[in-house]
């Protein structure tokens, strides 16, 4: 078949594309596998609908559109993409903007394109000069790339493209990954090897993985990457490292991904030789102005800074008697002329303050509402402690109506099994996003705070702490890839359901066989609840081991109180749980009245959060008819039993996917089973020393003592 290329376009040599050089199924291709379509009827219809491709435009992003179509269509349909420079037949896929294509401009798409903004797109079937066409249209080239990935997703998941008529608009403007990567290539809370960024070899050697990283992120709408750890190293702001970051920015730019860096607040002292980093000191302001101008000389589309300040030992404006707002605004004013932003993290707490740690961020930030500059986000974790298996939503959401809030979710599984447990996090994300703050009355869900619609903010954003490393399959656990995918899909479209996202990912990552999809989807949707049960049921939290946080440690009682487990579970002879009610620390006062009243009463507080807000007697009867002690025991045992059922489900699917990934997951599920028993036995036996009650008769008894579990030591756990 003759191939016709538009002017200025050269065919891509497939041998140079790293995704095509994969042998076996090792997970490297993630959800962009583009496997041959096995259903002959669907394949035939796709062939008919995609006779030729007309792409207009001339940019690096348009080149990426063409490359992705070539790769996808050859993989799925087994044929080279036929690119043409004019409309000549039925079965044309037309891609362009009204500016680049007179044909696109002539179509009745004006009203739809007015809604899509700078990144959205339209995909629809059209009759153009009596030719049956599928059109992907957008206002900008990046919208065309996002639309192309969406179209390829439709093919991958066997959708009927003959009736496609959709408009897709991102829910949030800034959708980015926070890489907690260090300059020595270690990754804090990373469980998939070393950092993807090989700083030593940059900028001279540009790994093919960098482009694949950009492709995969663009496929789910992620448009930003914070390259470095929030526990920042000022060296990243020096020319030596800015040159390296600029090389990455050059690769990411065609895929719509902007580079962000973490700013160490006292960088003027560490690398600028100033005596102070006081944000109100004119010398400090001048230093940052010069530094930011220098950064933009290397990276013209630099996105801005993520800042962790006055938290866990990090320097900040409070070192100089200044507020978070004064510190953030000093940076924001200098970034503003360049279009840059500041993301100022609200993860702050101080063990010297005799206050419930869950209350401290609210106490520090709410008095500053309305005092941050327009281009400052306050970036807030989903819950008030620290990415626990289950937390109530953070009370800051809805409490700062005059300040744009950016959600911070954890994609990496620091407290949910790290690199060994299958835990699908979309249910956790949605549980938070769908929570009603009542800030403006009923219907004030957190999703509306995040997308800016609740308070009509001009900025909106969502950040996810990355789970990506240099392991061949990117994320370590094959199913951890689903959490990266789910974060990106939700950041683009907050209305998506957890089931829809899971099914998309399964179909694209493994197979379109319903015999595999249905049981695996159910397993994924339940997996987070299983983990909560064998780790922290009934609202327990922060009872993991010290330092590396791998495994149980409910007995941890050494060091600063707010880093111990006993500070949080408060088990004693009468009961268990942290009293945050009006009779205790009064953390419930930070929520709006409707939420406050619900949490304050043990009869209306969700039992899944009961021990978060209440210290309950061991013999208190719950809705199940069981006492707190009995329900706690049964939850731990249910969690372990559920992992065993996941194993049975997975084992029954042998032969439905490739052996390499099947056996990898099978081995990890066995590790998860053993570690869930470790969690169960350690916690039940430890809490039994306070309740002094027997483990319910129908449950098997642990075969070791609590001292055995207390003496387990784990060395060199990754991600510390």
**What phi and psi, each to the nearest 5 degrees, are found at residue 320?**
-115, 15
**Beta carbons within 10 angstroms of residue 648's beta carbon:** 10
Q: What is the pTM of this model?
A: 0.96
Q: Is 364 a catalytic residue?
A: no
Helices (H), 476-547: 481-492, 498-509, 514-535
Is residue 386 flagged as an active site residue? Answer: yes
Contacts (Cβ under 8 Å, ≥6 apart) of 25:
657, 658, 660, 661
Give the tens place of pLDDT for each residue, 457-473.
989 999 999 999 999 99
One of 243, 312, 572, 619 is an active-site residue; which one? Answer: 312
Radius of gyration, CA atoms only, the chain: 26
pLDDT at 24: 61
Residue 7 banded pLDDT, cuts 50, 70, 90: very low
The share of the chain scoring above pLDDT 90, in percent, equals 96
Question: What confidence tens digit (pLDDT) does each residue in 629-641 have?
Answer: 999 999 999 999 9
Query: Quick one: which of 481, 458, 460, 457 has its CA closest to 469?
Result: 481
Tokens standing for 317? 């404006």
- pLDDT of amino acid 381: 98
**Percent above pLDDT 70 for the chain:** 97
The per-residue pLDDT for 537 is: 98
What are the helix (H) ranges across 117-238?
A: 141-156, 208-219
**Catalytic annotation present for 660:** no
Average pLDDT in the chain: 95
What are the structure tokens assigned to 482, written together? 């689903």
Check if the beta carbon of residue 181 is closer than 8 Å to that of residue 226: no
The residue written with tokens 């979309």 in the block is 426
Taking CA atoms, 200 is separated from 178, 185, 302, 585, in Å, by: 21, 9, 22, 49
Q: Is 187 helix (H, G, I), strand (E, B) or coil?
A: strand
Quick one: tokens of 83? Answer: 């690119």
Q: Does the pLDDT at position 22 exceed 80?
A: no
pLDDT at 683: 98
The vertex-211 CA angle with 207 and 216, nearest 5°, equals 130
Q: Give the mean pLDDT of 421-436.
A: 98
Res 458: pLDDT: 87
Q: What local confidence, expressed as pLDDT, does residue 17 receive?
A: 39
Please give the pLDDT value at position 10.
Answer: 31
Collapse the DSSP code of 343 into the 3-class scheme (helix H, G, I; strand E, B; otherwise coil) and give the result.
strand
Three-class secondary structure of residue 446 per DSSP:
helix
Tell me the per-residue pLDDT of 159-184, one tens digit each, with 9 for 90 and over. Answer: 999 999 999 999 999 999 999 999 99
**Mind listing the pLDDT tens digit for each residue in 554-568?**
999 999 999 999 999
For 667-715, the pLDDT digits (tens) are 999 999 999 999 999 999 999 999 999 999 999 999 999 999 999 999 9
Among 26, 188, 386, 470, which one carries the catalytic annotation? 386
Strands (E) located in 280-359? 304-307, 341-345
Residues 6+ apart with CB under 8 A from 4: 82, 83, 84, 85
Quote the tokens at residue 24.
């076996």
Which domains does the chain show, CATH number per domain?
Answer: 14-168 (3.30.379.10), 174-503 (3.20.20.80), 532-578+615-710 (3.90.1330.10)
For residues 29, 32, 37, 42, the Cα torsion angle rounded to the nearest 10 degrees is 170
pLDDT tens, position by position, 42-88:
999 999 999 999 999 999 999 999 999 999 999 999 999 999 999 98
Model pLDDT for residues 123-165, shown as the tens digit of each residue? 999 999 999 999 999 999 999 999 999 999 999 999 999 999 9
Vertex 481 angle, CA 495 and 169, to 5°: 30
pLDDT reported for residue 647? 98
Q: How far apart are CA 564 and CA 549, in angstroms?
A: 11
Q: Which of 42, 39, 37, 41 is nearest to 79 (CA)?
A: 37
Overall average pLDDT of the 283-311 stretch: 98
Nearest alpha carbon to residue 183 among 238, 265, 115, 126: 238
- Which position among 119, 181, 212, 414 bears the catalytic label? 414
Asked if residue 219 lies in contact with residue 149, where contact means CB atoms within 8 angstroms, the answer is: yes
- Give the 3-state secondary structure of residue 238: coil
Number of other residues whose CB lies within 10 A of the CB of residue 191 = 23
How far is Cα 209 from Cα 21, in angstroms, rounded to an integer? 12
175, β-bridge pairs? 462
- In sequence order, what are the residues at sequence separation of 6 or more whose Cβ sits closer than 8 angstroms to the Cβ of residue 417? 423, 531, 672, 675
Are 569 and 615 a contacting pair, CB within 8 Å? Answer: no
Q: How many helices (H) and strands (E) does the chain have?
A: 22, 15
Q: What is the pLDDT of residue 61?
A: 98
pLDDT at residue 5 in the model: 28
Backbone φ and ψ for 100, nearest 5 degrees, come out as -90, -15
Q: What phi, psi does 124 have (nearest 5°)?
A: -155, 155
């Amino acid at each position: 078949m003759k191939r016709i290329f538009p002017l200025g376009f050269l065919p891509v040599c497939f041998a140079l594309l790293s995704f095509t050089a994969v042998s076996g199924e090792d997970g490297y291709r993630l959800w962009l596998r583009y496997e041959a379509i096995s259903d002959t009827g669907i394949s035939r219809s796709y062939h008919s609908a995609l006779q030729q491709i007309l792409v207009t435009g001339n940019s690096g992003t348009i080149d990426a559109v063409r490359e992705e179509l070539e790769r996808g269509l050859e993989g799925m349909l087994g044929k080279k993409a036929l690119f043409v420079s004019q409309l000549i037949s039925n079965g044309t896929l037309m891609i362009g903007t009204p500016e680049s294509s007179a044909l696109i401009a002539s179509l009745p798409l004006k009203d739809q394109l007015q809604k899509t903004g700078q990144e959205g797109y339209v995909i629809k079937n059209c009759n153009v000069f009596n030719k049956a066409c599928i059109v992907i249209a957008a206002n900008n080239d990046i919208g065309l790339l996002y639309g192309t990935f969406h179209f390829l997703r439709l093919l991958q998941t066997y959708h009927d493209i003959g009736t496609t008529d959709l408009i897709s608009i991102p829910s949030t403007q800034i959708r980015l990954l926070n890489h907690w990567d260090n300059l020595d290539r270690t990754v804090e809370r990373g469980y998939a090897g070393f950092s993807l960024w090989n700083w030593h070899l940059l900028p001279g050697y540009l790994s093919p993985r960098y482009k694949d990283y950009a492709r995969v992120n663009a496929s789910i709408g992620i448009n930003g990457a914070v390259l470095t750890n929030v526990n920042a190293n000022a060296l990243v702001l020096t020319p030596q490292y800015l040159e390296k970051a600029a090389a990455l920015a050059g690769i990411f730019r065609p895929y719509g991904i902007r580079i962000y860096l973490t700013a160490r607040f006292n960088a003027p002292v560490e690398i600028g030789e100033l005596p102070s980093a006081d944000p109100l000191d004119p010398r400090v302001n001048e230093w940052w102005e010069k530094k930011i101008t220098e950064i933009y000389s290397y990276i013209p589309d630099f996105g801005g800074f993520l800042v962790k300040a006055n938290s866990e030992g990090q320097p900040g404006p409070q070192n100089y008697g200044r507020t978070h707002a004064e510190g953030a605004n000093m940076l924001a004013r200098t970034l503003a002329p360049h279009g840059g932003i500041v993301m100022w993290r609200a993860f702050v707490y101080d063990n010297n303050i005799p206050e419930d740690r869950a209350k401290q961020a609210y106490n520090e930030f709410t008095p500053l509402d309305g005092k941050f500059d327009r281009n400052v986000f306050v970036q807030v974790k989903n819950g008030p402690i620290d990415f626990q298996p289950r937390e109530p939503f953070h009370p800051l959401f809805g409490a700062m109506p005059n300040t744009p809030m950016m959600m911070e979710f954890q994609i990496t599984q620091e407290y949910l099994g790290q690199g060994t447990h299958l835990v699908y996090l979309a249910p956790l994300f949605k549980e938070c996003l769908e929570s009603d703050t009542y800030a403006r009355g009923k219907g004030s869900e957190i999703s509306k705070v995040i997308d800016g619609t609740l308070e009509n903010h001009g900025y909106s954003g969502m950040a996810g702490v990355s789970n990506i490393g240099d392991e061949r399959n990117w994320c370590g656990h094959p199913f951890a890839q689903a959490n990266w995918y789910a974060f990106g899909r939700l950041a683009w479209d907050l209305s998506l359901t957890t089931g829809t996202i899971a099914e998309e990912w399964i179909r694209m990552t493994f197979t379109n066989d319903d015999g595999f999809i249905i049981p695996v989807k159910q397993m994924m949707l339940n997996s987070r609840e299983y983990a909560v049960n064998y780790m922290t049921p009934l609202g327990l939290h922060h009872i993991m081991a010290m330092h590396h946080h791998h495994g149980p440690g409910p007995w941890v009682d050494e060091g600063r109180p707010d880093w111990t487990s006993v500070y949080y579970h408060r088990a004693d002879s009468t009961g268990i749980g942290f009293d945050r009610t009006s009779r205790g620390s009064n953390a419930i006062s930070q929520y709006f009245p409707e939420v406050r009243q619900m949490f304050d009463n043990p009869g209306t507080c969700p039992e899944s959060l009961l021990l978060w807000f209440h210290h309950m007697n061991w013999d208190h009867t719950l809705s199940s008819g069981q006492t707190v002690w009995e329900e706690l025991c049964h939850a731990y045992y249910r969690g372990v039993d559920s992992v065993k059922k996941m194993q049975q489900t997975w084992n029954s699917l042998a032969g439905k996917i490739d052996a390499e990934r099947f056996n990898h997951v099978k081995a990890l599920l066995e590790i998860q089973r053993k570690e869930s028993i470790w969690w169960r036995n350690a916690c039940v036996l430890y809490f039994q020393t306070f309740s002094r009650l027997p483990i319910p008769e129908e449950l098997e008894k642990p075969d070791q003592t609590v001292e055995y579990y207390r003496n387990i030591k784990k060395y060199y756990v990754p991600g510390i």
